Structure 1
Amino acid sequence: MPRKERYAEPGIYHIINRGTERRDIFLEPEDYDYFLFLLTKAKKDYTITHHAFCLMTNHYHLLLETHEHNLSKVMQFINDKYAKYYNKKYTRVGHFWQGRFKSYPLFDDAHFWIVAKYIERNHIKAKMIAELKNYKFQSFFQWKYNYIYLTLLENSKIYDMTLSEYENYIQSEQDIDAIDIVYKAPKLTTVNGKLKMLTKRLETFFNFDTDANRNENIKKAFDYGYTKSEIAKFLSLSHSSVHRILV
Protein backbone atom coordinates (compact mmCIF):
# COMPACT_ATOMS: atom_id res chain seq x y z
CA MET A 1 0.00 0.00 0.00
CA PRO A 2 1.55 3.34 -1.03
CA ARG A 3 2.37 5.88 1.66
CA LYS A 4 -0.06 8.74 2.17
CA GLU A 5 1.27 11.89 0.58
CA ARG A 6 2.78 14.29 3.10
CA TYR A 7 2.16 18.02 3.03
CA ALA A 8 5.58 19.63 2.78
CA GLU A 9 5.24 23.19 1.53
CA PRO A 10 7.81 25.67 2.92
CA GLY A 11 6.66 26.81 6.34
CA ILE A 12 6.71 26.13 10.07
CA TYR A 13 6.24 22.57 11.36
CA HIS A 14 6.02 20.79 14.68
CA ILE A 15 8.09 17.63 14.17
CA ILE A 16 7.93 14.58 16.45
CA ASN A 17 9.67 11.22 16.26
CA ARG A 18 10.01 8.35 18.74
CA GLY A 19 12.25 5.37 19.20
CA THR A 20 10.82 2.02 18.12
CA GLU A 21 8.67 0.43 20.83
CA ARG A 22 9.12 3.74 22.71
CA ARG A 23 12.67 2.73 23.61
CA ASP A 24 15.13 5.36 24.79
CA ILE A 25 17.03 7.06 21.99
CA PHE A 26 19.34 9.10 24.23
CA LEU A 27 21.32 7.18 26.84
CA GLU A 28 24.24 9.49 27.59
CA PRO A 29 24.86 13.26 27.41
CA GLU A 30 27.00 12.82 24.31
CA ASP A 31 23.99 11.30 22.51
CA TYR A 32 22.01 14.51 23.05
CA ASP A 33 25.04 16.50 21.95
CA TYR A 34 25.39 14.53 18.73
CA PHE A 35 21.71 15.04 17.89
CA LEU A 36 22.06 18.78 18.51
CA PHE A 37 25.14 18.78 16.30
CA LEU A 38 23.00 17.23 13.54
CA LEU A 39 20.40 19.97 14.01
CA THR A 40 23.17 22.54 13.64
CA LYS A 41 24.44 20.92 10.45
CA ALA A 42 20.92 20.62 9.03
CA LYS A 43 20.35 24.30 9.72
CA LYS A 44 23.40 25.19 7.66
CA ASP A 45 23.12 22.62 4.86
CA TYR A 46 19.37 22.88 4.26
CA THR A 47 18.73 26.53 5.12
CA ILE A 48 16.17 25.91 7.83
CA THR A 49 15.26 27.86 10.96
CA HIS A 50 14.97 26.18 14.36
CA HIS A 51 12.39 28.04 16.44
CA ALA A 52 12.30 25.70 19.47
CA PHE A 53 13.20 22.14 20.46
CA CYS A 54 13.15 19.67 23.32
CA LEU A 55 14.93 16.31 23.37
CA MET A 56 13.29 13.76 25.64
CA THR A 57 14.62 10.31 26.55
CA ASN A 58 12.66 8.35 23.94
CA HIS A 59 11.53 11.04 21.51
CA TYR A 60 12.10 14.61 20.36
CA HIS A 61 10.12 17.71 19.48
CA LEU A 62 11.28 20.27 16.93
CA LEU A 63 9.61 23.50 15.89
CA LEU A 64 11.36 24.26 12.63
CA GLU A 65 10.79 26.25 9.50
CA THR A 66 11.69 25.22 5.98
CA HIS A 67 12.29 27.84 3.30
CA GLU A 68 12.42 25.37 0.41
CA HIS A 69 10.55 22.17 -0.52
CA ASN A 70 12.97 20.02 1.48
CA LEU A 71 11.27 18.93 4.70
CA SER A 72 11.66 15.21 3.97
CA LYS A 73 15.33 15.64 3.04
CA VAL A 74 16.01 17.55 6.25
CA MET A 75 14.39 14.92 8.45
CA GLN A 76 15.89 12.02 6.51
CA PHE A 77 19.34 13.51 7.10
CA ILE A 78 18.76 14.00 10.84
CA ASN A 79 17.04 10.67 11.49
CA ASP A 80 19.32 8.50 9.34
CA LYS A 81 22.52 10.02 10.67
CA TYR A 82 21.42 9.69 14.26
CA ALA A 83 20.17 6.10 13.86
CA LYS A 84 23.50 5.05 12.32
CA TYR A 85 25.43 6.78 15.09
CA TYR A 86 23.35 5.11 17.81
CA ASN A 87 23.37 1.64 16.25
CA LYS A 88 27.13 1.71 15.82
CA LYS A 89 27.81 3.06 19.30
CA TYR A 90 25.54 0.61 21.10
CA THR A 91 26.00 -2.32 18.70
CA ARG A 92 22.38 -2.79 17.78
CA VAL A 93 20.53 -3.65 14.57
CA GLY A 94 17.00 -3.29 13.27
CA HIS A 95 14.54 -0.44 13.04
CA PHE A 96 15.50 2.49 15.21
CA TRP A 97 12.55 4.87 14.81
CA GLN A 98 8.93 4.00 15.55
CA GLY A 99 7.97 5.03 12.04
CA ARG A 100 7.91 8.06 9.79
CA PHE A 101 8.33 11.32 11.64
CA LYS A 102 5.13 13.21 12.37
CA SER A 103 4.86 16.71 10.94
CA TYR A 104 2.18 19.24 11.80
CA PRO A 105 2.18 22.45 9.74
CA LEU A 106 1.36 25.66 11.57
CA PHE A 107 -0.20 28.67 9.88
CA ASP A 108 -0.76 31.41 12.43
CA ASP A 109 0.88 33.06 15.43
CA ALA A 110 -1.62 31.70 17.93
CA HIS A 111 -0.80 28.13 16.96
CA PHE A 112 2.94 28.87 16.94
CA TRP A 113 2.96 30.08 20.54
CA ILE A 114 0.79 27.21 21.78
CA VAL A 115 3.18 24.69 20.25
CA ALA A 116 6.29 26.53 21.46
CA LYS A 117 4.98 26.37 25.03
CA TYR A 118 4.04 22.71 24.63
CA ILE A 119 7.56 21.88 23.45
CA GLU A 120 9.31 23.87 26.16
CA ARG A 121 7.15 22.28 28.88
CA ASN A 122 7.32 18.72 27.58
CA HIS A 123 9.78 17.49 30.19
CA ILE A 124 7.66 19.10 32.92
CA LYS A 125 4.57 17.34 31.55
CA ALA A 126 6.48 14.04 31.61
CA LYS A 127 7.63 14.72 35.21
CA MET A 128 11.26 14.33 34.17
CA ILE A 129 12.35 17.43 36.03
CA ALA A 130 10.75 19.82 38.53
CA GLU A 131 11.92 23.20 37.23
CA LEU A 132 11.74 24.35 33.65
CA LYS A 133 15.05 26.20 33.78
CA ASN A 134 17.09 23.11 34.73
CA TYR A 135 16.73 21.04 31.56
CA LYS A 136 19.59 21.77 29.21
CA PHE A 137 18.38 19.85 26.13
CA GLN A 138 15.77 22.38 25.15
CA SER A 139 15.73 25.75 23.44
CA PHE A 140 14.76 27.81 26.50
CA PHE A 141 17.80 26.63 28.46
CA GLN A 142 20.10 27.53 25.55
CA TRP A 143 18.68 31.06 25.46
CA LYS A 144 18.52 31.65 29.20
CA TYR A 145 22.11 30.60 29.85
CA ASN A 146 23.63 31.55 26.49
CA TYR A 147 24.56 27.90 26.19
CA ILE A 148 26.49 25.83 23.66
CA TYR A 149 23.77 25.44 21.05
CA LEU A 150 22.27 28.92 21.21
CA THR A 151 23.26 29.46 17.56
CA LEU A 152 20.60 26.91 16.65
CA LEU A 153 18.02 29.56 17.48
CA GLU A 154 19.33 32.21 15.12
CA ASN A 155 16.33 34.10 13.67
CA SER A 156 13.91 32.14 15.88
CA LYS A 157 10.45 33.63 16.26
CA ILE A 158 10.66 33.15 20.04
CA TYR A 159 12.85 36.28 20.03
CA ASP A 160 9.69 38.25 19.30
CA MET A 161 9.42 38.15 23.10
CA THR A 162 12.08 39.25 25.54
CA LEU A 163 13.71 36.47 27.55
CA SER A 164 11.74 37.40 30.66
CA GLU A 165 8.47 37.53 28.71
CA TYR A 166 9.15 34.14 27.16
CA GLU A 167 10.13 32.62 30.50
CA ASN A 168 6.96 33.91 32.14
CA TYR A 169 4.91 32.63 29.22
CA ILE A 170 6.24 29.08 29.25
CA GLN A 171 6.26 28.92 33.06
CA SER A 172 2.49 29.27 33.13
CA GLU A 173 0.32 26.18 32.87
CA GLN A 174 -1.01 25.28 29.44
CA ASP A 175 -4.66 24.62 28.73
CA ILE A 176 -4.89 20.84 28.50
CA ASP A 177 -6.95 21.07 25.30
CA ALA A 178 -4.87 23.76 23.59
CA ILE A 179 -2.54 21.45 21.68
CA ASP A 180 -5.45 19.29 20.47
CA ILE A 181 -7.24 22.36 19.16
CA VAL A 182 -4.17 23.25 17.09
CA TYR A 183 -4.18 19.89 15.34
CA LYS A 184 -7.85 19.87 14.47
CA ALA A 185 -6.86 22.36 11.78
CA PRO A 186 -5.53 22.86 9.26
CA LYS A 187 -6.93 19.87 7.45
CA LEU A 188 -5.15 17.97 4.68
CA THR A 189 -7.40 16.86 1.85
CA THR A 190 -7.46 16.17 -1.88
CA VAL A 191 -9.25 18.59 -4.19
CA ASN A 192 -9.53 17.77 -7.90
CA GLY A 193 -6.82 15.15 -7.51
CA LYS A 194 -4.34 17.54 -5.86
CA LEU A 195 -3.19 17.67 -2.26
CA LYS A 196 -4.50 20.78 -0.52
CA MET A 197 -4.15 22.14 3.01
CA LEU A 198 -7.34 23.74 4.28
CA THR A 199 -5.91 26.45 6.50
CA LYS A 200 -9.34 28.02 7.06
CA ARG A 201 -11.27 26.09 9.70
CA LEU A 202 -14.79 24.95 8.85
CA GLU A 203 -16.43 26.89 11.68
CA THR A 204 -15.10 30.19 10.34
CA PHE A 205 -17.53 29.93 7.41
CA PHE A 206 -20.42 30.10 9.88
CA ASN A 207 -19.09 32.19 12.79
CA PHE A 208 -21.37 35.21 12.36
CA ASP A 209 -24.25 34.06 10.20
CA THR A 210 -24.95 30.36 10.67
CA ASP A 211 -28.64 30.92 9.87
CA ALA A 212 -28.96 34.05 7.75
CA ASN A 213 -26.55 33.02 5.01
CA ARG A 214 -26.33 29.33 5.78
CA ASN A 215 -26.84 27.98 2.26
CA GLU A 216 -24.41 30.44 0.71
CA ASN A 217 -21.79 29.58 3.36
CA ILE A 218 -22.32 25.85 2.81
CA LYS A 219 -21.46 26.38 -0.84
CA LYS A 220 -18.36 28.41 0.08
CA ALA A 221 -17.17 25.74 2.52
CA PHE A 222 -17.74 22.98 -0.04
CA ASP A 223 -15.96 24.89 -2.81
CA TYR A 224 -13.06 25.49 -0.42
CA GLY A 225 -12.60 21.74 0.09
CA TYR A 226 -14.76 20.50 2.97
CA THR A 227 -16.91 17.45 2.27
CA LYS A 228 -20.68 17.26 2.42
CA SER A 229 -20.41 14.90 5.38
CA GLU A 230 -18.16 17.29 7.33
CA ILE A 231 -20.47 20.22 6.67
CA ALA A 232 -23.58 18.20 7.55
CA LYS A 233 -22.08 17.02 10.84
CA PHE A 234 -20.96 20.51 11.83
CA LEU A 235 -24.40 22.01 11.14
CA SER A 236 -26.34 19.00 12.49
CA LEU A 237 -27.97 18.49 9.11
CA SER A 238 -28.50 15.32 7.12
CA HIS A 239 -26.14 14.51 4.27
CA SER A 240 -29.07 14.67 1.83
CA SER A 241 -30.00 18.18 3.03
CA VAL A 242 -26.51 19.49 2.31
CA HIS A 243 -26.53 17.68 -1.05
CA ARG A 244 -29.78 19.40 -2.07
CA ILE A 245 -28.34 22.81 -1.19
CA LEU A 246 -25.28 22.18 -3.34
CA VAL A 247 -27.00 20.85 -6.47
Structure 2
Amino acid sequence: MTRIKRNDILRVGGDKVPRKARIKSETGYYHIITRGNNKNYIFKDETDKELIKEEIKKQEIEKSIEIAAWCIMDNHIHLVIKGELEDITTAMKKINVKYAMKYNVKYERSGHVFQDRYMSKPIETDEYLICVLRYVHMNPVKANIVKKAEDYRWSSYREYSEMNKEKSGMEKFVLSYFDMDIESFKKFHQEEDEREYLEIKEDKEKYRLDKAQRIINRCCEKYGVNTSRDVIENREIFKELIIELKERSGLSIRKISKLLEVSYGTIQATKRKCFNESIGQKERPLRYEGDMNE
Protein backbone atom coordinates (compact mmCIF):
# COMPACT_ATOMS: atom_id res chain seq x y z
CA MET A 1 0.00 0.00 0.00
CA THR A 2 1.29 3.47 -0.92
CA ARG A 3 1.94 5.66 2.11
CA ILE A 4 0.36 9.13 2.06
CA LYS A 5 2.93 11.71 3.02
CA ARG A 6 2.09 14.29 5.66
CA ASN A 7 2.30 17.12 3.07
CA ASP A 8 -0.24 15.30 0.92
CA ILE A 9 -3.01 15.67 3.52
CA LEU A 10 -5.45 18.57 3.34
CA ARG A 11 -7.80 19.62 6.14
CA VAL A 12 -11.40 20.21 5.04
CA GLY A 13 -13.92 21.19 7.70
CA GLY A 14 -11.73 19.70 10.41
CA ASP A 15 -11.37 16.37 8.60
CA LYS A 16 -8.16 15.13 7.02
CA VAL A 17 -8.56 14.49 3.30
CA PRO A 18 -5.76 13.14 1.06
CA ARG A 19 -4.67 15.65 -1.59
CA LYS A 20 -5.30 14.74 -5.19
CA ALA A 21 -2.14 13.13 -6.55
CA ARG A 22 -0.35 14.98 -9.32
CA ILE A 23 -0.49 13.37 -12.75
CA LYS A 24 2.93 12.31 -13.95
CA SER A 25 3.98 13.43 -17.43
CA GLU A 26 5.44 10.77 -19.70
CA THR A 27 7.60 13.44 -21.36
CA GLY A 28 8.75 15.08 -18.14
CA TYR A 29 7.29 18.46 -19.18
CA TYR A 30 4.74 20.36 -17.06
CA HIS A 31 2.86 23.63 -17.23
CA ILE A 32 3.01 25.11 -13.72
CA ILE A 33 1.33 28.07 -12.02
CA THR A 34 2.05 29.45 -8.57
CA ARG A 35 0.09 32.41 -7.28
CA GLY A 36 -0.13 34.93 -4.47
CA ASN A 37 -2.02 34.07 -1.31
CA ASN A 38 -5.61 35.37 -1.34
CA LYS A 39 -5.04 36.50 -4.96
CA ASN A 40 -2.65 39.18 -3.65
CA TYR A 41 -0.24 41.03 -5.93
CA ILE A 42 3.09 39.69 -4.72
CA PHE A 43 5.27 40.96 -7.57
CA LYS A 44 4.46 44.63 -7.12
CA ASP A 45 7.42 46.26 -8.78
CA GLU A 46 10.43 45.48 -10.97
CA THR A 47 12.58 44.68 -7.93
CA ASP A 48 10.11 41.96 -6.87
CA LYS A 49 9.97 40.52 -10.37
CA GLU A 50 13.76 40.51 -10.67
CA LEU A 51 14.03 38.75 -7.32
CA ILE A 52 11.63 35.91 -8.21
CA LYS A 53 13.30 35.59 -11.62
CA GLU A 54 16.67 35.11 -9.89
CA GLU A 55 15.23 32.42 -7.62
CA ILE A 56 13.77 30.59 -10.62
CA LYS A 57 17.05 30.76 -12.54
CA LYS A 58 18.99 29.48 -9.50
CA GLN A 59 17.03 26.23 -9.60
CA GLU A 60 17.88 25.80 -13.25
CA ILE A 61 21.56 26.49 -12.55
CA GLU A 62 21.48 23.79 -9.85
CA LYS A 63 20.28 21.48 -12.68
CA SER A 64 17.34 20.13 -10.70
CA ILE A 65 14.97 21.35 -13.42
CA GLU A 66 15.04 22.72 -16.98
CA ILE A 67 12.89 25.74 -17.81
CA ALA A 68 11.39 25.96 -21.28
CA ALA A 69 9.34 29.12 -20.63
CA TRP A 70 8.46 31.53 -17.84
CA CYS A 71 6.27 34.58 -17.36
CA ILE A 72 5.96 36.67 -14.21
CA MET A 73 2.63 38.46 -13.80
CA ASP A 74 1.65 40.68 -10.86
CA ASN A 75 0.02 37.96 -8.77
CA HIS A 76 1.13 34.69 -10.35
CA ILE A 77 3.84 32.98 -12.41
CA HIS A 78 3.59 30.66 -15.41
CA LEU A 79 6.39 28.13 -15.90
CA VAL A 80 6.99 25.37 -18.43
CA ILE A 81 9.38 22.98 -16.72
CA LYS A 82 11.06 19.69 -17.53
CA GLY A 83 12.07 17.47 -14.65
CA GLU A 84 11.08 14.68 -12.29
CA LEU A 85 8.01 15.48 -10.21
CA GLU A 86 9.91 15.23 -6.92
CA ASP A 87 12.66 17.53 -8.23
CA ILE A 88 10.08 20.04 -9.47
CA THR A 89 8.28 19.99 -6.11
CA THR A 90 11.58 20.58 -4.29
CA ALA A 91 12.56 23.38 -6.69
CA MET A 92 9.18 25.11 -6.37
CA LYS A 93 9.37 24.89 -2.59
CA LYS A 94 12.83 26.50 -2.60
CA ILE A 95 11.68 29.25 -4.97
CA ASN A 96 8.60 30.04 -2.89
CA VAL A 97 10.30 29.88 0.52
CA LYS A 98 13.30 31.99 -0.45
CA TYR A 99 11.18 34.62 -2.19
CA ALA A 100 8.65 34.71 0.67
CA MET A 101 11.38 35.35 3.25
CA LYS A 102 12.80 38.29 1.29
CA TYR A 103 9.32 39.60 0.44
CA ASN A 104 8.21 39.59 4.09
CA VAL A 105 11.35 41.43 5.17
CA LYS A 106 10.95 44.04 2.43
CA TYR A 107 7.29 44.75 3.19
CA GLU A 108 7.59 44.24 6.98
CA ARG A 109 4.97 41.55 7.12
CA SER A 110 4.64 37.89 8.13
CA GLY A 111 2.65 34.88 7.01
CA HIS A 112 2.10 33.07 3.74
CA VAL A 113 3.03 34.80 0.49
CA PHE A 114 2.01 32.04 -1.94
CA GLN A 115 -1.34 30.28 -2.03
CA ASP A 116 -1.28 26.59 -1.12
CA ARG A 117 0.72 24.36 -3.47
CA TYR A 118 1.43 25.09 -7.10
CA MET A 119 -0.92 24.03 -9.92
CA SER A 120 0.45 21.67 -12.58
CA LYS A 121 -0.63 20.02 -15.81
CA PRO A 122 1.41 17.41 -17.72
CA ILE A 123 2.48 18.15 -21.30
CA GLU A 124 2.40 14.99 -23.39
CA THR A 125 2.92 16.03 -27.03
CA ASP A 126 5.27 18.23 -29.06
CA GLU A 127 2.37 20.26 -30.39
CA TYR A 128 0.99 20.94 -26.91
CA LEU A 129 4.45 21.90 -25.65
CA ILE A 130 4.96 24.70 -28.17
CA CYS A 131 1.33 25.83 -27.84
CA VAL A 132 1.65 26.07 -24.05
CA LEU A 133 4.92 27.94 -24.49
CA ARG A 134 3.14 30.42 -26.76
CA TYR A 135 0.28 30.74 -24.27
CA VAL A 136 2.72 31.55 -21.46
CA HIS A 137 4.49 34.20 -23.54
CA MET A 138 1.21 35.75 -24.68
CA ASN A 139 -0.22 36.09 -21.15
CA PRO A 140 0.71 39.80 -20.81
CA VAL A 141 -0.89 40.49 -24.21
CA LYS A 142 -4.11 38.69 -23.25
CA ALA A 143 -4.14 40.65 -19.98
CA ASN A 144 -3.87 43.92 -21.98
CA ILE A 145 -0.61 44.85 -20.24
CA VAL A 146 1.27 45.15 -23.54
CA LYS A 147 0.32 44.94 -27.22
CA LYS A 148 3.15 42.62 -28.27
CA ALA A 149 4.95 39.83 -26.43
CA GLU A 150 8.35 41.43 -27.08
CA ASP A 151 7.22 44.54 -25.18
CA TYR A 152 6.99 42.61 -21.92
CA ARG A 153 10.25 42.33 -20.04
CA TRP A 154 9.24 39.67 -17.54
CA SER A 155 8.94 36.58 -19.72
CA SER A 156 11.28 34.27 -21.62
CA TYR A 157 9.96 35.48 -24.99
CA ARG A 158 12.91 37.84 -25.51
CA GLU A 159 15.37 35.07 -24.66
CA TYR A 160 14.04 33.20 -27.69
CA SER A 161 13.37 36.13 -30.04
CA GLU A 162 16.52 38.23 -29.70
CA MET A 163 18.79 37.38 -32.62
CA ASN A 164 22.13 38.17 -30.95
CA LYS A 165 21.52 36.33 -27.68
CA GLU A 166 23.32 33.02 -27.22
CA LYS A 167 20.71 30.29 -26.84
CA SER A 168 20.63 27.70 -24.07
CA GLY A 169 20.23 23.99 -24.80
CA MET A 170 16.51 24.17 -24.01
CA GLU A 171 16.03 27.25 -26.20
CA LYS A 172 17.78 25.51 -29.09
CA PHE A 173 15.54 22.49 -28.57
CA VAL A 174 12.36 24.60 -28.71
CA LEU A 175 13.61 26.59 -31.72
CA SER A 176 14.34 23.33 -33.53
CA TYR A 177 10.57 23.00 -33.98
CA PHE A 178 10.87 26.12 -36.14
CA ASP A 179 14.03 24.98 -37.96
CA MET A 180 15.99 27.45 -35.80
CA ASP A 181 14.20 30.29 -37.61
CA ILE A 182 13.41 33.02 -35.06
CA GLU A 183 11.06 34.79 -37.49
CA SER A 184 8.96 31.62 -37.74
CA PHE A 185 8.93 31.46 -33.94
CA LYS A 186 7.63 35.05 -33.82
CA LYS A 187 4.95 34.40 -36.46
CA PHE A 188 3.77 31.36 -34.53
CA HIS A 189 3.18 33.59 -31.51
CA GLN A 190 0.97 35.88 -33.59
CA GLU A 191 -1.40 33.05 -34.54
CA GLU A 192 -4.70 33.04 -32.67
CA ASP A 193 -5.26 30.09 -30.36
CA GLU A 194 -8.63 29.72 -28.64
CA ARG A 195 -7.83 26.54 -26.73
CA GLU A 196 -7.87 26.69 -22.94
CA TYR A 197 -4.77 26.03 -20.89
CA LEU A 198 -3.99 25.85 -17.19
CA GLU A 199 -4.92 29.23 -15.71
CA ILE A 200 -5.98 30.90 -12.46
CA LYS A 201 -9.76 31.05 -12.18
CA GLU A 202 -10.28 34.80 -12.56
CA ASP A 203 -8.06 35.01 -15.64
CA LYS A 204 -9.74 31.97 -17.22
CA GLU A 205 -13.12 33.66 -16.77
CA LYS A 206 -11.81 36.87 -18.32
CA TYR A 207 -10.35 35.01 -21.31
CA ARG A 208 -13.67 33.19 -21.82
CA LEU A 209 -15.56 36.47 -21.81
CA ASP A 210 -13.06 37.97 -24.26
CA LYS A 211 -13.44 34.93 -26.53
CA ALA A 212 -17.25 35.20 -26.35
CA GLN A 213 -17.08 38.88 -27.28
CA ARG A 214 -14.93 38.03 -30.31
CA ILE A 215 -17.51 35.45 -31.39
CA ILE A 216 -20.27 38.05 -31.06
CA ASN A 217 -18.25 40.62 -33.01
CA ARG A 218 -17.58 38.14 -35.82
CA CYS A 219 -21.27 37.29 -35.99
CA CYS A 220 -22.22 40.98 -36.23
CA GLU A 221 -19.63 41.50 -38.95
CA LYS A 222 -20.77 38.41 -40.88
CA TYR A 223 -24.39 39.55 -41.05
CA GLY A 224 -23.73 43.28 -41.30
CA VAL A 225 -25.41 44.23 -38.03
CA ASN A 226 -24.15 46.72 -35.48
CA THR A 227 -24.94 45.23 -32.08
CA SER A 228 -25.73 41.93 -30.38
CA ARG A 229 -29.26 43.28 -29.90
CA ASP A 230 -29.69 43.25 -33.69
CA VAL A 231 -28.55 39.63 -33.72
CA ILE A 232 -31.00 38.66 -30.98
CA GLU A 233 -33.93 40.09 -32.95
CA ASN A 234 -33.19 37.69 -35.85
CA ARG A 235 -34.08 34.18 -34.71
CA GLU A 236 -31.92 32.28 -37.19
CA ILE A 237 -28.83 34.39 -36.54
CA PHE A 238 -29.51 34.20 -32.81
CA LYS A 239 -29.62 30.38 -32.94
CA GLU A 240 -26.32 30.30 -34.80
CA LEU A 241 -24.73 32.61 -32.24
CA ILE A 242 -25.96 30.56 -29.28
CA ILE A 243 -24.58 27.35 -30.81
CA GLU A 244 -21.17 28.93 -31.34
CA LEU A 245 -21.03 30.55 -27.90
CA LYS A 246 -22.01 27.30 -26.18
CA GLU A 247 -19.57 25.18 -28.16
CA ARG A 248 -16.57 27.51 -28.27
CA SER A 249 -16.60 30.15 -25.51
CA GLY A 250 -16.49 27.86 -22.45
CA LEU A 251 -19.10 30.04 -20.74
CA SER A 252 -22.10 28.59 -18.92
CA ILE A 253 -25.59 29.33 -20.22
CA ARG A 254 -26.13 31.59 -17.23
CA LYS A 255 -23.12 33.71 -18.16
CA ILE A 256 -24.06 33.76 -21.86
CA SER A 257 -27.50 35.06 -20.89
CA LYS A 258 -25.91 37.77 -18.76
CA LEU A 259 -23.50 38.75 -21.55
CA LEU A 260 -26.28 39.01 -24.14
CA GLU A 261 -28.76 40.49 -21.64
CA VAL A 262 -31.25 37.76 -22.50
CA SER A 263 -33.09 35.58 -19.99
CA TYR A 264 -31.66 32.22 -18.98
CA GLY A 265 -34.91 30.55 -20.13
CA THR A 266 -34.60 32.05 -23.62
CA ILE A 267 -31.08 30.66 -24.01
CA GLN A 268 -32.17 27.25 -22.73
CA ALA A 269 -35.17 27.14 -25.08
CA THR A 270 -33.00 28.13 -28.05
CA LYS A 271 -30.44 25.48 -27.16
CA ARG A 272 -33.12 22.76 -26.90
CA LYS A 273 -34.67 23.81 -30.22
CA CYS A 274 -31.30 23.64 -31.97
CA PHE A 275 -30.65 20.22 -30.46
CA ASN A 276 -34.05 18.87 -31.53
CA GLU A 277 -33.60 20.22 -35.05
CA SER A 278 -30.21 18.55 -35.32
CA ILE A 279 -31.67 15.17 -34.30
CA GLY A 280 -34.51 15.50 -36.79
CA GLN A 281 -32.51 16.79 -39.74
CA LYS A 282 -29.10 15.15 -39.07
CA GLU A 283 -27.52 18.16 -40.71
CA ARG A 284 -24.78 18.74 -38.18
CA PRO A 285 -23.76 17.25 -34.86
CA LEU A 286 -24.26 19.52 -31.89
CA ARG A 287 -22.28 19.03 -28.71
CA TYR A 288 -23.91 20.16 -25.51
CA GLU A 289 -22.09 19.40 -22.33
CA GLY A 290 -24.61 20.70 -19.84
CA ASP A 291 -24.57 23.88 -17.83
CA MET A 292 -21.39 24.95 -16.15
CA ASN A 293 -22.62 26.90 -13.14
CA GLU A 294 -19.29 28.48 -12.27
TM over 0.5: yes
- Deviation per residue, 1:143-164 (Å, 9 max, x gap): 333799x77x542332222211
Aligned to 1:165: 184
- Deviation per residue, 1:58-89 (Å, 9 max, x gap): 10100010157412101111111111111111
Displacement of 1:114: 1.7
Output the CA distance in 2 between the equivalents of 1:138 and 1:30.
15
Letter in 1 for 2:20: K
Aligned CA RMSD, in angstroms, stands at 2.3
Output the CA distance in 1 between the equivalents of 2:126 and 2:66.
16
Aligned to 2:23: 7
Q: Give yes or no for contact 1:63–1:116 (8 Å, CA) kept in 2.
A: yes
Change beyond 3 A, Cα 1:111–1:79: same
Q: Which has the larger radius of gyration?
A: 2
Letter in 2 for 1:60: I
Is residue 18 from structure 1 mapped to residue 30 from structure 2 by the alignment? Answer: no
Change beyond 3 A, Cα 1:19–1:40: same
Q: Give yes or no for contact 2:70–2:156 (8 Å, CA) kept in 1.
A: yes
- Deviation per residue, 1:187-234 (Å, 9 max, x gap): xxxxxxxxxxxxxxxxxxxxxxxxxxxxxxxxxxxxxxxxxxxxxxxx
Matches within 5 A, 1:127-206: 127-145=144-162, 153-156=168-171, 157-160=173-176, 161=178, 162-175=181-194, 177-179=195-197
Output the CA distance in 2 between the equivalents of 1:88 and 1:59.
20
Q: Give yes or no for contact 2:64–2:88 (8 Å, CA) kept in 1.
A: no
Higher relative contact order (CA 8 A, sep 6+): 1
SS in 2 for 1:133: helix
- Deviation per residue, 1:7-49 (Å, 9 max, x gap): 3567101010110121111112121111111111101224321
Output the CA distance in 2 between the equivalents of 1:178 and 1:3.
24
Instruction: Give the number of equivalent residue pairs.
Output: 177
Output the CA distance in 2 between the equivalents of 1:178 and 1:88.
37
- Deviation per residue, 1:121-176 (Å, 9 max, x gap): 1011111112221101111123333799x77x54233222221111111122212x
Output the CA distance in 1 between the equivalents of 2:19 and 2:164.
40
Bigger helix fraction: 2
Bigger strand fraction: 1
What percentage of residue pairs aligned between the two structures are identical?
28
Displacement of 1:52: 0.8
Output the CA distance in 1 between the equivalents of 2:163 and 2:107.
31
- The one of 48, 54, 78 equivalent to 2:71 is 54
Is residue 29 from structure 1 mapped to residue 38 from structure 2 by the alignment? Answer: no
Displacement of 1:117: 1.2
Q: Give yes or no for contact 1:49–1:154 (8 Å, CA) kept in 2.
A: no
Change beyond 3 A, Cα 1:67–1:100: closer
TM-score w.r.t. length of structure 2: 0.55
